[in-house]
Structure 1
Amino acid sequence: MTREQAVIPEPVSWTGIVGDIVLAVFLGTVGLFYGSLALLAGALYSAYDAAASVAAKLPGPGNTRVKRVGSLSASKESPEPLPAIFFSVFLLMGAVQLGIAAFTDLTEGDTAPPETFVLAAVLLSMALRESLFQVKLRLSRRKSNVNLQSLIEKHRHSLFSSVVVLAGVFGAMGGQAWDVPALVYLEPSAAILVALHLLIQVYGLVKRSVYGSPSSHLREEDAASLVETVQRVHGVITVDDLKAQESGHYVTVTAKISVNPKITVMEAHDIANRAKMLLLNRFTHITDVRIQVAPYEAGYPYKSNTEESDSDLPNLLQ
């Protein structure tokens, strides 16, 4: 009987995407109602987060490019799907129009300090964004197929845009309270800064859509080292396939191993966990390991174990 044990849970849910959409709608509504360009910039960036997450979940038109070295293949991430380009176009147009409106306010001096509710909306959105990140982080830590480093990096960019919006709104309100007219221009300046940051992120999304995300190939000696490490685990007969995907200094490994077909499912699961922990402990740059277990094909050295005896006669002479 064929047994297969995969240490791969389900992907992260759509909770983060729904949260980003809610934040975008909330900030956009308040920004339009109170005429706050900084809030509109924050809404656009939340919309970018949602669009990037949706685009990453949709199937892409490009084929994954794979480089094999023996039993190891180091793959590059497949390009983002075509809808990412359409999302990017709308975000690009919004960021450009927002930047032009903010620049016009700066040059014409037609800037009014924001209302108190605008500051409250910014603080509330930051609290919701941080809570959403903690939820996604907890969910991702339970999943071995989620790149935590990518999630944290995305949150840093989102936090940067939120801090810039907060500084612009708070500074403009402080300028009115402290009778410093120059500080009122901090809000349109924050909108311009967030719009520029958004343009950079949208450019990266379009670049990934066309060329795919840059992932380095492992060297042949590194590939052999990973395969050799897995083969040292007691119970592993062969390493049928091993894929390592590099993203910066972090590596995700997916391996398929063969074990004795006579062992139990629990024993196969223990062998997979030992191989996983050995790779994580020995190679500090590896962040995720997924082990798939399959029974070793009938043949040496297990052929005699899988074949039924055709004779009931004893093996020893009587």
Structure 2
Amino acid sequence: MNDKQSPRKETVVWTGILSDIALAAAKGGVGYLSGSKALMGDAIYSGADAAARLAGVIPWHPKQNSKPSGSVRSRAVQGNKEPLAAILFSVLILMGGLQVVFSAIRDLTRGHLSAPGQSALAAVLLCIVFKEAVFQYQYRYFKKKGDGSHAAYADSHRFSLYTSITVFIGIALAMTGGYMNWHPLIYLDPVAALLTGGLILRKGYSLITSSVYSKKLQELPSEEAASFIETVQRVHGVIRVEQLRALEEGSCVNLDVKISVNPRISVLEAQDISECARKLLQHRFVHVGEVHMEVVPYDPGYPYKSNHELVDNDVPTLLQ
């Protein structure tokens, strides 16, 4: 029943994509009518956000074996096979960023600029509020879901917010220069467009590098993974952490954990313990993405034997 009441993941993701497309269209239209190059650059950045998320959602490549992998590393390697469409989107984003940069440089060198209209400032403010509302909706959903996607959304939203704030400052100062007849301030609108073009190029470069080159997985040293082990050991039912592998992938950390539990408990109880440990890791450490849990029965090893083995085993342990 809870699954029916909660929004589907695809719906939440597509809400963000469609909102970015709508923002790109609104910013582009208002920016063209008001003569603000900075707002048009912000429109291209919103379109780049939509393209980057669209490249990760649509299954452009053929389906592979649907058998689940056995570790975080194997699934991460399979996930690094980016579709060819992501490279196409990357090239389009880079071309858009270069167009914004060249247009801003041309306006700065040509001179005779005019201040943007008031609609540009109102549009960027409304777009910031709308973008923040959509982000809070997505961030809370994915944080509640506990799959680590909220960290990636927060990182992407941070640079989008930087872009909008830069555009807002550039437009506001350019309008102030127009009202006060202070011509140097009018140049801040194309200057903001130039900075926005740089952020667009950064986004396109990061997308194309993640598409062409496989993401490098770096295993964290045991000293940095000690906090993860300590957290898992606090879960009731976990006897010992047999193995914990922390793989750093970008801004996220994927964990491959092997724990031992009481061999006399049921499989369902063991699954509950592993699920509790997984949720605790993802909620305590916001940078933790995927967590793969493996549960094994606790074995003290030779020459020790557990109590249940002494009771159930009728075979003598000493030579007669």
Question: Do they fold alike, i.e. is TM over 0.5?
Answer: yes
Aligned partner of 1:263 in structure 2 is 266
8 Å contact kept, 2:104–2:191: yes
Greater fraction helix: 2
Pairs aligned (count): 282
| Structure-2 change in CA distance of 1:243 and 1:11 (3 Å) | farther
Matched, 1:33 2:33: yes
What one-letter code is carried by the residue in structure 2 that aligns with 1:147? S
Partner secondary structure for residue 142 of structure 1: helix
Cα distance in 1 between the residues matched to 2:188 and 2:226: 56
Cα distance in 1 between the residues matched to 2:220 and 2:238: 23
Aligned partner of 2:115 in structure 1 is 113
Cα distance in 2 between the residues matched to 1:208 and 1:223: 25
8 Å contact kept, 1:173–1:184: yes
Q: 193-202 or 243-252, which moves further after superposition?
A: 243-252
1:147-181 per-position Cα deviation (integer Å, ceiling 9, x unaligned):
33322221111111001110111111000111211
| Structure-2 change in CA distance of 1:60 and 1:251 (3 Å) | farther
Q: Higher relative contact order at CA 8 Å, sep ≥6: structure 1 or structure 2?
A: 1
| Structure-2 change in CA distance of 1:38 and 1:144 (3 Å) | same
8 Å contact kept, 2:72–2:291: no
Deviation of 1:206 after TM superposition, in Å, equals 0.9
8 Å contact kept, 1:252–1:287: yes
Deviation of 1:53 after TM superposition, in Å, equals 1.4
RMSD, matched Cα: 3.9
Aligned partner of 1:56 in structure 2 is 56
| Structure-2 change in CA distance of 1:121 and 1:231 (3 Å) | closer
Deviation of 1:274 after TM superposition, in Å, equals 3.9
Partner secondary structure for residue 187 of structure 2: helix
Matched, 1:217 2:194: no
8 Å contact kept, 2:246–2:254: yes
Aligned partner of 1:198 in structure 2 is 200
Deviation of 1:81 after TM superposition, in Å, equals 2.6
| Structure-2 change in CA distance of 1:196 and 1:269 (3 Å) | same
Aligned partner of 2:314 in structure 1 is none
Q: Which ranges of structure 2 fall in alignment gaps of 5 or more residues?
A: 1-6, 63-70, 298-305, 310-320
TM-score (norm 2): 0.72
Equivalent residue for 1:188, pick from 164, 187, 190: 190
1:5-33 per-position Cα deviation (integer Å, ceiling 9, x unaligned):
xxxx9746222112111111111121223
Q: Which ranges of structure 1 fall in alignment gaps of 5 or more residues?
A: 1-8, 63-70, 305-318
Aligned partner of 2:95 in structure 1 is 93
